[in-house]
């Protein structure tokens, strides 16, 4: 009789979507997992997430997609509109059409709802969840990674993942000190009850309202009970150390004076808003070394203009599991994971940067020249327009992976 294989262990820094999803996947793949969150509780800052079909496939593989159904919202279309006139620039059907074309739904989900579902599944799978517990540094050895926590405690694991976001301590230990660079853009976010708005003011779509130096994104959450608003403006004067602050709704409304009534009407109903600076770190850095690797924003923070931050973090999880199942040892697996993920993530990052320029054309002539080709393709060749996202939405990150066991 052969000896049973010793259970491998993973320590994950960061209890957001990336960290908890990775912990859930590893636990269901047979690992002993602990997730360590530096904050006093597991909670997501922010509100809405757009879960495109590539990400929905991962949630289905993790066994949590059905649990999100009661609170998810399925938009009818994705659209780009002129924020001043309201004129349509681009439109692509979602809803049933998204499932038919890309094989999975396109959903709007509240961040807190997604994290709650992931946490419940992780607990059921046996993941140890710890709060007020941050990673300070680590030491790689051939046998294990030695992780020193912020309180001085020493932990040992076969694998350490940094899922601790833009200001990741694991990334710093891996790559050295780097200061996030302000992109000269800030983003406001707010939630408005649908009942507080005139009927029909906000369409049941994922809508980008674009204009000079700024844009607004609107979509529904929680079955249509809430409208999620994200408003981005170019602003060179961000000096706050905190990444997110309580904002003045009047300042937000003033930034979009003269815009289409659908935008100004929604902004008029905003009672509370937060504003944060958009920061990025160098993209070409190491994601893996020995038994340590980065996932999610710790590896590849990106501008939110493709709505793919959470999706790319979820895709990381599938590639990590694939690499761990296929490589002879953990260090080799983590290097394979980095090599496999880098080209796709870099492409999404590049498209996100390009969208910032596309959305923020400052002159009427600039908008006309940039948007007219898009408008013509969208109107006369809608299939071709939707096909521009096949490379992103149509990819199945779970292809070739065995189903994960459910429960403990």
The residues carrying an active-site annotation are 219
Distance CA 341, CA 338 (A): 5
Q: Is 226 helix (H, G, I), strand (E, B) or coil?
A: strand
Alpha-carbon span 371 to 76, nearest angstrom: 22
> 288: part of which helix (H) or strand (E)?
strand 288-289
| Residue 18: its H or E element | helix 17-28
Asked whether 390 and 337 are in contact (CB, 8 A), the reply is no
Return the H-helix or E-strand segment holding 293.
Answer: strand 292-294
Q: Which of 296, 323, 322 is nearest to 311 (CA)?
A: 296
**Which residue, chain included where needed, has tokens 């521009």?**
388
CB atoms within 10 A of CB 406: 11
Which pair of tokens denotes residue 100? Answer: 């038919």
**Residue 295: burial class (beta carbons within 10 Å; 0-12, 13-18, 19+):** buried
Q: Cα 180–39–324 angle (5° rounding)?
A: 75
Residue pointed to by tokens 């002993």? 32
Contacts of 246 (CB under 8 A, 6+ apart): 272, 273, 274, 275
Cα(40)–Cα(42) distance, rounded to whole angstroms?
7
3-state class (DSSP) for residue 27: helix
Task: Please give the Cα distance from 84 to 33 (Å, whole number).
Answer: 50
Taking alpha carbons only, the member of 316, 324, 365 closest to residue 341 is 316
DSSP string, 97-149: HHHHHHSS--EEEEHHHHHHHHHHHHHHTT-EEESS--EEEEEE-SS-EEEEE
> How far is 202 from 218, CA to CA, in rounded Å?
8
């Amino acid at each position: 009789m052969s000896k049973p294989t010793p259970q491998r262990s993973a320590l994950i820094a960061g209890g957001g979507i990336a960290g908890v999803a990775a912990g859930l996947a590893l636990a269901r793949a047979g690992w002993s997992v602990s997730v360590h969150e530096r904050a006093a509780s597991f909670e997501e800052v922010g509100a809405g997430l757009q879960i495109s079909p590539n990400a929905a496939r991962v949630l289905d593989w993790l066994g949590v997609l059905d649990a999100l159904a009661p609170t998810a919202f399925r938009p009818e279309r994705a659209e780009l509109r002129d924020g001043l006139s309201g004129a349509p620039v681009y439109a692509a059907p979602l809803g049933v059409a998204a499932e038919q074309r890309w094989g999975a739904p396109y959903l709007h989900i509240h961040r807190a709802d997604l994290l709650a579902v992931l946490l419940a599944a992780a607990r059921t799978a046996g993941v140890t969840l710890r709060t007020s517990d941050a990673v300070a540094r680590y030491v790689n050895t051939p046998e294990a990674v030695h992780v020193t926590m912020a309180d001085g405690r020493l932990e040992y694991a076969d694998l350490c993942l940094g899922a601790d976001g833009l200001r990741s301590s694991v990334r710093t230990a891996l790559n050295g000190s780097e200061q996030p660079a302000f992109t000269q853009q800030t983003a406001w976010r707010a939630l408005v009850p649908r009942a507080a708005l005139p009927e029909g003011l906000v369409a049941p779509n994922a809508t980008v309202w674009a204009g000079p130096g700024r844009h607004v994104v609107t979509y529904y959450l929680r079955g249509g009970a809430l409208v999620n608003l994200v408003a981005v403006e170019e602003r060179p004067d961000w000096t706050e150390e905190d990444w997110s602050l309580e904002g003045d709704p009047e300042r937000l409304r003033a930034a979009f004076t003269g815009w289409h009534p659908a935008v100004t009407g929604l902004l008029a109903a905003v009672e509370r808003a937060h504003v944060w600076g958009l920061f990025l770190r160098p993209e070409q850095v190491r994601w893996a070394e020995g038994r340590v690797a980065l996932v999610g924003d710790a590896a590849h923070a990106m501008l939110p203009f493709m709505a793919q931050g959470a999706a790319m973090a979820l895709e990381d999880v599938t590639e990590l599991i694939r690499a761990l199942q296929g490589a002879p040892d953990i260090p080799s697996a983590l290097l394979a994971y980095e090599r496999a993920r880098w080209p796709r993530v870099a492409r999404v990052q590049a498209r996100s940067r390009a969208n910032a320029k596309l959305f923020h054309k400052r002159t009427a002539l600039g908008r006309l020249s940039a948007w007219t080709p898009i408008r013509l393709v969208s109107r006369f060749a809608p299939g071709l327009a939707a096909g521009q996202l096949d490379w992103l939405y149509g990819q199945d990150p779970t292809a070739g992976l065995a189903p994960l066991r459910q429960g403990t």
